[in-house]
């Protein structure tokens, strides 16, 4: 069965530190990858998505992600985090049955 | 543009009871999906409705059922509640088209506690 896995359950950083959150997916045919963010008390919202083309994808709020086909990875990055980036981050992908599959999530805490 | 709304915000039930959760999709979206998010986990797909018919189901028992109405709003019904049903229930709506390429827009969720 297709799966999405996230390496880190909880990441703690200081402001201005660089961020990289890992995501690996099992191959399921057509590539489609998403990063969602859930700020405390708010809706899940889309940060960025990748289907094809340039493997470096830029999203909202200064986030980017790189698709590396050989590693089945789609890691999320941000050069300099802010306290307001404190949230839970989810990697997701549609499987062949059309279901959106989420990773377990990574909780990011940014210390001011 | 009105986003996805869900009601109620919180709900407390006891084992064996039945519950109905409601979702209004974003304007223009005719596809609604429901997810269960247990504490510390990612959302798990329950089912999807498209044009008032179930269009895909995850690994959830039949006591999880749903409806979609002509205005594309939707209900999630859970019968014979169990303690493990305690979770945040998320509704998401999306535009028609190839599912794999559709961004889903999520509501704030309903927090269900089963005692």
What digits encode the pLDDT tens for the residues B31-57? 999 999 999 899 999 999 988 999 889
> A34 at the B interface (CB within 8 A)?
yes
Residues of B in contact with A30 (CB under 8 A): 100
Which portions of chain A are predicted below pLDDT 50?
none
Smallest CA–CA separation between B105 and chain A, in Å?
Answer: 7
Decide if A33 contacts A100 (C-beta within 8 A): no
Q: Report chain B residues whose CB lies below 8 A from the CB of A43.
A: 3-4, 106-109
According to DSSP, the residues that pair with A65 across neighbouring strands are A57, A76
Other C-beta atoms within 10 Å of A83: how many?
11
Q: Which residues are registered as beta bridge partners of A35? A: A48, A91
Residue B24 forms contact with A (CB below 8 Å): no
Write the residue in A30, A42, A102 that is nearest to B43 by C-beta.
A102
Per-residue pLDDT band at B97 (split at 50, 70, 90): low
Backbone torsions φ then ψ of B99, nearest 5 degrees:
-60, -35
Looking at the complex, does the CB of residue A3 fall below 8 Å from at least one CB of chain B? Answer: no
Question: CB distance from A98 to chain B under 8 Å?
Answer: yes
Question: Taking CA atoms, what residue in A is nearest to B36?
Answer: A102
- For residue B84, give the 3-state DSSP assignment: helix
Token look-up 């390496």 returns: A7
Nearest to B21, CA basis, from B36, B6, B5, B38: B6
Looking at residue B98, its pLDDT comes to 53
Task: For residues A16 and A92, give the distance between their C-alpha atoms in angstroms, rounded to a whole number.
Answer: 26
Classify burial at B68, counting beta carbons within 10 Å of its beta carbon; exposed 0-12, middle 13-18, buried 19 or more. Answer: buried
Q: How distant, in Å, are the alpha carbons of B47, B64, B76, B91 from that of B31? A: 11, 18, 14, 10
**Which of B43, B50, B96 is the mutation pick for testing A, counting most A CBs within 10 A?**
B43
pLDDT of B1 > 60? The answer is: no
**Residue B100: pLDDT over 70:** no
Is pLDDT larger for residue B98 or for residue A13? A13
Q: Contact, B35 vs B75, CB < 8 A?
A: no
pLDDT value for B85: 98
**Angle ∠(A54,A58,A60) on CA atoms, nearest 5:** 155
Q: What is the mean pLDDT of chain B?
A: 92
CA gap B86, A70 in Å, rounded: 39
Residue of A nearest to B97 (CA): A98
Residue % of chain B over a pLDDT of 90: 77
Quote the CA–CA distance of B33 and B50 in Å, as a whole number: 9
Instruction: Establish if A100 touches chain B: CB-CB under 8 angstroms.
Output: yes
B60 has a pLDDT exceeding 70: yes
Residues of A with Cβ-Cβ distance to B44 under 8 angstroms: 102
């Amino acid at each position: 069965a297709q799966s999405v896995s996230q390496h880190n359950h909880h990441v703690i950083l200081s402001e201005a530190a660089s961020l990289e959150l890992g995501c690996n997916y099992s191959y399921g045919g057509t590539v489609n990858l998403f990063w969602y963010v859930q700020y405390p008390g708010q809706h899940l919202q889309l940060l960025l998505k990748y289907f094809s083309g340039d493997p470096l994808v830029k999203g909202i709020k200064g986030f980017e992600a790189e698709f590396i086909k050989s590693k089945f990875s789609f890691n999320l990055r941000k050069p300099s985090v802010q306290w307001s980036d404190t949230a839970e981050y989810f990697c997701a992908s549609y499987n062949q049955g059309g279901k959106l599959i989420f990773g377990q999530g990574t909780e990011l805490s940014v210390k001011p | 543009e009105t986003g996805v709304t869900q009601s109620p915000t919180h709900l407390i039930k006891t084992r064996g009871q039945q519950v109905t959760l409601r979702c209004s999709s974003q304007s223009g979206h005719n596809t609604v999906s429901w997810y269960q998010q247990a504490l510390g986990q990612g959302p798990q797909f329950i089912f999807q409705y498209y044009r008032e018919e179930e269009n895909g189901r995850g690994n959830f028992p039949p006591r999880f059922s749903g409806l979609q109405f002509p205005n594309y709003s939707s209900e999630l019904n859970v019968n014979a509640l169990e303690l493990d049903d305690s979770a945040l229930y998320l509704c998401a709506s999306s535009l028609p088209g190839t599912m794999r390429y559709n961004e889903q827009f999520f509501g704030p969720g309903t927090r269900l506690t089963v005692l």
